[in-house]
Structures are given as structure tokens and as C-alpha cells.
Amino acid sequence: MAPVTAGAADGDRDRWDHRGEQDGRGDRSDRDEQDGRGERDGWRGWRAAAGAALYGPGGFYRRPEGPAGHFRTSVHASPLFAGAVARLLCRVDEALGRPAVLDFVDMAAGRGELVTGVLTALPADVAARVRAYAVELADRPAGLDHRIEWRADPPERVTGLLFANEWLDNVPVEVVEVDPAGVPRLVLVRADGTERLGEPVAGAEARWLARWWPLGGEEGLRAEIGLPRDRAWAAAAGTLARGLAVAVDYAHTAGARPPFGTLTGFREGRETSPVPDGSCDITAHVALDACAAACALPGARLLSQRDALRSLGLTGDRPPLARASTDPAGYVRALATASQAAELTAPGGFGDFGWLVQPVGIGDVLTG
């Protein structure tokens, strides 16, 4: 099982809705006052509840064990993933004309596993020019490579690659459900996971729903309003002066939205009910097409992780069997590598992840 993760989000993430709304708390607090979702009676929208449960004091992602203590991402599955990201950074470097300083920004860095792996996999001449950033709300891990700058917000004027692996799925969002009269209403939740329906969806959230995830009139249909994720991605991509921004996540697009939403929880490697008490991860798949449109920049495209990694040299093809007799040790190593690559590109698993690729001032480096 490979549940989704990211390393940081709302709560503190609200400063730019990790980092998208430049303090998105304004509309939410106004709406809470209007519909009685304040904490006085324990009912809150899912966005506020998940933000506190994941990133507030004692929240799930503040724990010392980090995401790897509860689930595997592509980063944890194999060092081949970091190696592929390192090759992508090298392609960006070439497209930029090999600048004197090449930035690599690891969004929602967890405990720094990806940025560490990328630095290790880079050719020495490229690594010598890289300025590496880990963007994460948790404390800096002990013993992390001194070359990595640990910070709560991404740097501005990035020249290089900004990479967000399983970040946007953990930017908390509101959940809506169609009531018996066919009206989409905000879903309110208590800390024990009990839900009830609140006010009808209105304003910018209603407009987002109508454009990106229109619900029919059937009672019980649900959706997650991805507006905070759109704003977060636009803000992240907006830090690029030149280079490439990439978001990798479980995703869906218009025409294939899940009818009952995707909100779920994970604890110790197992899927569980989403309970916003800090005991589990709370996640929902990402409408990456909406995120792409929010950038207002040309050249964005969506592809699967399978296609992206294949373009970066990971195929999962088994080595020729004849090699087993001529080079047994090499054959075993190649077979192990192929097995790991196959997991990262497998249909029904990591291979189905969506990649949102947003170039800024460079061409498409994910071809071939």
C-alpha cells in the first residue's frame, strides 16, 4: 500500500495557504461566523478541522517520526525516484544554460529524504552549483546535509526546479454533499469524525464547484473544493523566475471525478476513516487540471508518473535473461533495479500518479 502524503499544509500553511492564499483565513472566518461553524459547538468545516489536526500543535505532521513512519511514497519506495528527479534537474540546468547557481526546492520535504537523494544522485559538477531548499513546517532533522536550507516557506525568484511530491493532497479543502433537495452543502465535522451538513456552498467555492466539479441533484453526491490547492500551486509556481515547477499526486480530472469524493485517512500504513483528531493522515485526491488552470502561465501539461519516469529513463524492463549466465551478479542487480522501477511506474499504483509540469521561461524538458 502506498497512501498519499505531503509534509506540511494549512494551519501555519494558511500564511499563503501553503502557500496560496496569502492568508486565506479571511473568507473562512467570515463564513464561520455566518453559518455557526465556530468552535463553540465543536462543528467545523473539513478544511479548518483537517488543518488543525494535521498541522496544529501536536498535529499528525508535527510528529517526530515523519510521514515515513506511517506510509510509503515514491521517495521511500526506491532511490530510483530521487535519481530520476536528479536527471530532471540536470535537464532543467541545461535548458537554463547552466547557471552559476541552480536552485532545487523540495516542497513539503518530510524529513528531507528527496532533497538528500537528489543531491547524492547529481553529477559532481552540477551538485557544486546547486542551492538546495527543504520547505517543511516540522523541525529540521538532526544530521541533515549542511548544504540543505530548511525553511517554512519557499524562496522567491527561484532559478531551477521546484518539486512538490505528494504535497497538494494534504492542503486541506472543504467537503460538500448534496442534500435531499439537491442542494450542495458544506460538510461540517467534529473531532471524532461525526459529520452533519451546514450552509449551502456560496461565493468563490460555489463558482469553483460549478466549473471544476459540478454535482448532479442526487442526494449524497460529494466533492472536495480544490480552491485552496489552486491558490497554493499558483503561489508555488509563482516563485519561479525561470525553470520548472512539478506537482506529483494522486489526481483526477474533469470528466472522471469520483462521485462521492476521495476524502480518507491513513494510519500506520492502513486506510482508515478520516478523523480530525490528530491521530491519522487526512488526504484527498487533487483536481490537477484546476491547479494547472490557476497558474495563468503557458505551457502547463498533465501526464502520468508512468510516462514522466519513462521519459527520465525508468522503464521497469527486465534485463536480458542471457545476462544471467555471463554476468550473474550484474543480472541480479539489474533485476532488482527493474523491479523497483516497475513499482514506481505500475498501473494501479505509483504509476497512476498525476504529474503537473509547469515550465517558466524554458521549453519542455520531459520529452523523449
pLDDT value of position 120: 97
Please choose, from the candidates 61, 32, 65, the residue with its C-alpha nearest in 3D space to the C-alpha of residue 48: 32
Q: How far apart are CA 29 and CA 16, in angstroms?
A: 15
CATH fold of 62-171+230-315+350-360 reads Rossmann fold (3.40.50)
Tell me what pLDDT residue 67 has: 58
Question: Cell digits for 317?
Answer: 524492463
Residues 6+ apart with CB under 8 A from 75: 81, 82, 110, 113, 114, 117, 165
Q: Please count the other Cβ atoms lying within 10 Å of the Cβ belonging to residue 28.
A: 20
Q: Please report the pLDDT score of residue 276 as a whole number.
A: 96
So what's the pLDDT on residue 345? 77
Quick check: 342 and 74 in contact, CB under 8 A? no
* Residue 34 identity: Q
Determine the pLDDT at residue 61. 85
Q: What pLDDT sits at residue 75?
A: 81
Look up the pTM and report it. Answer: 0.85
Return the closest-CA partner of residue 108 out of 4, 7, 245, 234: 7
CB 131 within 8 A of CB 99: no
- Residue 261 near residue 224, CB atoms below 8 Å: yes
Angle of the 227-237 helix axis to the 203-212 helix axis, nearest 10: 90
Q: Are 114 and 144 in contact (CB under 8 A)?
A: no
- Read out DSSP for 47-115? HHHHHHHHHSTT-GGGSTT-GGGT---HHHH-HHHHHHHHHHHHHHHHHTT--SSEEEEEES-TTTHHH
Number of H helices, E strands in the chain: 12, 17
Which 3 state secondary structure label does DSSP give 277?
A: coil
The pLDDT value recorded for residue 264 is 96
C-alpha cell at position 142 = 538532526
Q: Which stretches of the chain score pLDDT less than 70?
A: 1-40, 65-72, 77-78, 316, 319, 324, 331, 334-335, 337-338, 341, 351, 368
Assign residue 41 a region (left: φ > 0; alpha: ψ between -120 and 50; beta: otherwise).
Answer: alpha
Question: Tens of pLDDT along 33-87?
Answer: 334 444 558 999 999 999 999 999 888 888 776 555 555 677 876 688 999 999 9
Neighbouring-strand partners of residue 188: 45, 196
Q: Which three cell numbers stand for residue 316?
A: 521497469
Q: What is the pLDDT of residue 339?
A: 72
Output phi, psi for 117, to 5 deg: -65, -40
Cα–Cα nearest to 101, from 31, 155, 42: 155
Which candidate, 259, 268, 182, places its Cα nearest to that of 223? 259
Domain boundaries, the chain: 62-171+230-315+350-360
Output the pLDDT for position 28. 41
Residue 286, beta-bridge partner list: 251
Q: Is the distance from CB of 245 to CB of 162 less than 8 angstroms? A: yes
